[in-house]
Amino acid sequence: MKTKTPSWRKTSPASYFLLASITFLSIFPFYWMFVVSSNTNAEISKSPPSLIPGGRFLIVAKKVMSAEGVFFNHALLNTFIVGLSIAIAQVMFSAVAGFAFAKLDFRGRKSFILFVVGTMMLPSQLGIIPLFMLVKNLHLIDSLLGLIVPALVTAFGVFWMRQIIDAQVPNELLEAASIDGASVPRVFFSIVLPIIRQSSFVLGLFAFLAAWNDYLWPTIILQSPQHFTLQVALTQLKPMYGLDYALQMGGAFLATAPLLILFIFVGRRLVSGVMDGAVKG
Amino acid sequence: MALLKDVQGSHKPALTPWKKKSKKEDVFPGVRSLNGRWGHLFVAPFLIMFLVFGLAPVIYSVYISFFKWDPLGGSEFVAFRNFSLLLHDSDFWLALRNTFSIWALSTFPQMFMAIGFAAILRNTRLKGKSFWRTILLVPNITSVIAVTIVFGQLFGRDFGIINGILDFMGLNRHIDFIEGIIPSHSAIATMITWRWLGYNTLIFLASMLAIPNELFESASVDGATKWQQFRFVTLPQLRNTITFVLVVGTIGGLQVFAEPQQLAADGGSSKQFLTLTLFLYNQAFVNNKYGYAAAIGIMITFIVIIISAVNFFITRKISNDGTR
């Protein structure tokens, strides 16, 4: 028996039109970065401006890489090191603590988790001055470690991991293992970790992207251009006199391209990560 | 059912008065056969790092705010003077105004659009679902600085495409998206909306997909139009998500920093887009007024708490009214 499609299941052409528009608006700024950086400033400043890529991208890319006092290739490497270190550390710290909060019965479990969730409400700039003083006293100013160490753990990561482990790791499995005599660390490493591998990867991605795009903290503690991350380096891509749109946009494009390439491979997983973390109902 | 539960419960030893607390443990969701004492060891690395780099600075910030604190010149206890100075500082009120204006311009239009796009993406018959969802998230991975550079150019007064389009539509007056108050706030709000619209759409979509289909089916049988279904079935179910997005958006909105700082480090010629966080940054790391800047941070926190509380009460009231 064939039933009539209920009205709420139909898709109108208007839906596709709206989706196509938002797709265009989402992609256009990236396209525009490329257009501006591959044309001369004159081509962009005329009216109407050139809307198609020109042939100067490699020249501009070279200019970005060799811009005086910027060290763009250093910045690329620095950002990569910082992002990767933070991602790995956050996943490890969060998984270990999240597992304890989800599955282990210890004194203060409830108050600890309440306390951690409570602090998630605090805006990050509240503690930023003492954090700067602390990092200065540890002699980590103007170093990549100064970026990495304060970001090793986050309340969000632990909270996320607790939810994930709670939802994905069945209690019966752990019970069976513990009755067979497996110790808690053993249970964690050989049962819990393999199950949450996928979600750990998503948390790591979030951490990596956040670190890659962070600007406030790097701009506070970094001083010498060799230690700059991409975001700070980008802000230095200004010529002494006037404006060089091609140079700035070329930098922006080069700083974003690695993320776009990464996104091609992990975009879908990020989507499900965002949606899994959403509040249902 | 209740009886059955009682019978099952009776297997447990009778509670002794001083052990009443253990009643709470009945809701413990984890695994009892695992030795709980490992718990402390497992949370210790996180907690220690969190206390040192997360909580201690926050507490110390409160302490500093009672001092006139110059990193080079030393410190002097001034009690609440930083706060009273702040309340008499016109820059503070300007920053507050700008922050709220940018927040409102970036939050509400974005929320309407996000709910709308989520409603489109919810459609089970939509083709290329996964493609649309993925493409929506692309702006979110872009760095704020890159976004500021691109949009700064697009919004340019003389050669920007946006003014070019306005020109094309017959509006001859070029809008200065830097000097004007509302234009500059709109430009910054556009950058924020561009970056976060897709993310919030996915959040709303997840919440819509959790609504049982039967609700729509029965509404459809009752003759509800598409709009009525949206208004009376979908929207009420999104209450918690709306609160969530608003609270997260408020915390984010109070942290707006890179966009205005890149447009002009001092917040503009008449400080027309000086935001609270930019104000804090400049006081602390340009003017070396640590105590004063710490006081700004505390004010920002108060605002977050107040808005979250208001939000919470409003949604709770709506939900009470909704369920009658």
Q: Which domains does chain B have, with CATH numbers?
A: 90-144+193-323 (1.10.3720.10)
Q: Which residues pair with B68 in a beta bridge?
A: B76
Task: Please write the tens of the pLDDT for every residue from B169-183.
Answer: 777 677 888 888 999
Residue in chain A closest to B63 (alpha carbons) equals A130
What CA–CA distances, in Å, run from A64 to A223, A233, A247, B261?
20, 10, 6, 22
d(CA B14, nearest CA chain A) in Å: 21
A248 touches chain B (CB under 8 A): yes
**Which of B120, B123, B149 is closest, CB to CB, to A249?**
B149
**Which of A19, A122, A235 is closest, CB to CB, to B262?**
A235
All residues of chain A having their beta carbon less than 8 Å from the beta carbon of residue B135 are 23, 26-27
Q: Hey, how many other C-beta atoms are within 10 angstroms of the C-beta on B56? A: 15
Determine what percent of chain B is predicted with pLDDT higher than 70. Answer: 89
All residues of chain A having their beta carbon less than 8 Å from the beta carbon of residue B298 are 126
Residues 53-92 in A contacting B (C-alpha not used; CB under 8 Å): none
Least confident of A28-42, A83-97, A130-144: A28-42
DSSP three-state, residue B75: strand
Task: Please write the tens of the pLDDT for every residue from B207-224.
Answer: 999 888 888 888 888 888
What CA–CA distances, in Å, run from B290 to A241, B284, B314?
34, 5, 36
Are A11 and B205 in contact (CB < 8 Å)?
no
Which is nearest to B211 in space by CA: A210, A8, A30?
Answer: A8
> What value, to the nearest 5°, has the Cα angle with vertex B6 and ends B4 and B8?
70
Least confident of A87-91, A201-205, B37-41, B313-317: B313-317
All residues of chain A having their beta carbon less than 8 Å from the beta carbon of residue B161 are 32, 49
Is residue A85 scored above 80 in pLDDT? yes
Are B149 and A15 in contact (CB < 8 Å)?
no
Is residue B125 scored above 60 in pLDDT? yes
Higher pLDDT, residue A63 or B33: A63
What per-residue confidence (pLDDT) applies to A194?
A: 94
Average pLDDT over residues A208-236: 92
A238 touches chain B (CB under 8 A): no
Structure tokens that stand for A103 in this block: 């599955």
**Which of B42, B120, B136 is closest, CB to CB, to A97?**
B42
Are B49 and A6 in contact (CB < 8 Å)?
no
Query: What is residue A2's DSSP assignment?
Result: P
Read off the pLDDT band of A11 (50, 70, 90): low
Average pLDDT over residues B82-101: 95
What CA–CA distances, in Å, run from B105 to B100, B147, B197?
8, 18, 13
B139 with B150: CB under 8 angstroms?
no
Percent helix, strand and coil across chain B, each to the nearest 5: 70, 0, 25
DSSP three-state, residue A123: coil
Read off the pLDDT band of B14 (50, 70, 90): very low
d(CA B111, nearest CA chain A) in Å: 15
Is residue B152 scored above 80 in pLDDT? yes
What per-residue confidence (pLDDT) applies to B23?
A: 46
d(CA A60, nearest CA chain B) in Å: 16
Task: Please write the tens of the pLDDT for every residue from B37-54.
Answer: 888 899 999 999 999 998
* Cα(B189)–Cα(B273) distance, integer angstroms: 11
Average pLDDT over residues A32-53: 81
Is residue B12 scored above 60 in pLDDT? no
Average pLDDT over residues A238-259: 84
All residues of chain A having their beta carbon less than 8 Å from the beta carbon of residue B257 are 215-216
Are B220 and A11 in contact (CB < 8 Å)?
no
Q: Torsions phi, psi of B30, nearest 5? A: -90, -150
A275 touches chain B (CB under 8 A): yes
Determine what percent of chain A is predicted with pLDDT higher than 90. Answer: 52
Amino acid found at A20: A
B259 with B281: CB under 8 angstroms?
no
Average pLDDT over residues A191-214: 92
A3 touches chain B (CB under 8 A): no
What per-residue confidence (pLDDT) applies to A120?
A: 80
What per-residue confidence (pLDDT) applies to A275?
A: 87
Domain range list for chain A: 77-233
* Cα(B171)–Cα(A236) distance, integer angstroms: 35
Is residue B123 scored above 90 in pLDDT? no
Residue in chain B closest to A5 (alpha carbons) equals B125
Residue in chain B closest to A15 (alpha carbons) equals B120
Task: Please write the tens of the pLDDT for every residue from A46-83.
Answer: 767 778 888 888 888 888 888 877 888 899 999 999 99
Query: What is residue A240's DSSP assignment?
Result: S
Task: Please write the tens of the pLDDT for every residue from B280-307.
Answer: 999 999 999 999 999 999 999 999 888 8
Is residue A2 scored above 70 in pLDDT? no
What per-residue confidence (pLDDT) applies to B199?
A: 94
Query: What is residue B17's DSSP assignment?
Result: G
Which is nearest to A104 in space by CA: A28, A35, A24, A192?
Answer: A192
Average predicted confidence (pLDDT) for chain A: 87
Average pLDDT over residues A134-147: 94
Q: Render the burial of B208-243: b for 16+ CB within 10 Å, e for the rest.
A: beebeeeebeebbeeebeeeebbeebbeebbbebbb
Higher pLDDT, residue B213 or A138: A138
* Cα(B175)–Cα(B131) distance, integer angstroms: 36
What per-residue confidence (pLDDT) applies to B57?
A: 93
A117 touches chain B (CB under 8 A): no
Which is nearest to B283 in space by CA: B297, B304, B299, B269?
Answer: B297
Give domain A77-233's CATH number out of 1.10.3720.10, 1.10.645.10, 1.20.120.160, 3.30.360.10. Answer: 1.10.3720.10
* Cα(A119)–Cα(A102) distance, integer angstroms: 19
Is residue A164 scored above 80 in pLDDT? yes
d(CA B6, nearest CA chain A) in Å: 23
A106 touches chain B (CB under 8 A): yes
All residues of chain B having their beta carbon less than 8 Å from the beta carbon of residue A112 are 43, 47
What per-residue confidence (pLDDT) applies to A51?
A: 80
Are A129 and B206 in contact (CB < 8 Å)?
no
Q: Torsions phi, psi of A48, nearest 5? A: -75, 155
A94 touches chain B (CB under 8 A): yes
Are B240 and A279 in contact (CB < 8 Å)?
yes
All residues of chain A having their beta carbon less than 8 Å from the beta carbon of residue B52 are 134
Are A279 and B126 in contact (CB < 8 Å)?
no
d(CA A128, nearest CA chain B) in Å: 7
Is residue B32 scored above 70 in pLDDT? yes
Average pLDDT over residues B155-170: 79
All residues of chain A having their beta carbon less than 8 Å from the beta carbon of residue B25 are 105
Q: Number of residue pairs across A and B with CB atoms under 8 Å?
A: 334
What per-residue confidence (pLDDT) applies to B323?
A: 47
Best of B62, B132, B150 to substitute, by most chain A Cβ atoms within 10 angstroms, is: B150
What per-residue confidence (pLDDT) applies to B18?
A: 44
**Which of B40, B210, B301 is closest, CB to CB, to A280?**
B210
Torsion of CA A266, A270, A272, A278, to 10 degrees: 180
What per-residue confidence (pLDDT) applies to A150?
A: 93
Task: Please write the tens of the pLDDT for every residue from B217-262.
Answer: 888 888 888 888 888 888 888 888 888 888 888 888 999 999 999 8
Least confident of B14-18, B197-201, B222-226, B306-310: B14-18
What per-residue confidence (pLDDT) applies to B319?
A: 62
Is residue A35 scored above 70 in pLDDT? yes
What per-residue confidence (pLDDT) applies to A281?
A: 39
Residue in chain B closest to A135 (alpha carbons) equals B53
Average pLDDT over residues B117-137: 90
Read off the pLDDT band of B155 (50, 70, 90): confident
Is residue B275 scored above 90 in pLDDT? yes
Read off the pLDDT band of A115 (50, 70, 90): confident
* Cα(A244)–Cα(B149) distance, integer angstroms: 11
All residues of chain A having their beta carbon less than 8 Å from the beta carbon of residue B237 are 281
* Cα(B52)–Cα(B18) distance, integer angstroms: 36
Are B42 and A245 in contact (CB < 8 Å)?
no
Are B58 and A119 in contact (CB < 8 Å)?
yes
Higher pLDDT, residue B298 or B322: B298
Is residue B81 scored above 60 in pLDDT? yes
Task: Please write the tens of the pLDDT for every residue from A255-271.
Answer: 999 999 999 999 999 99
What per-residue confidence (pLDDT) applies to A4?
A: 53
Is residue A233 scored above 70 in pLDDT? yes
Higher pLDDT, residue A3 or B112: B112
DSSP alpha helices (H): ranges in chain A?
A: 13-37, 41-45, 57-66, 72-103, 109-119, 128-137, 144-148, 155-168, 171-179, 184-187, 193-195, 197-213, 216-221, 230-235, 245-277
What per-residue confidence (pLDDT) applies to A5?
A: 53
Is residue B4 scored above 50 in pLDDT? no
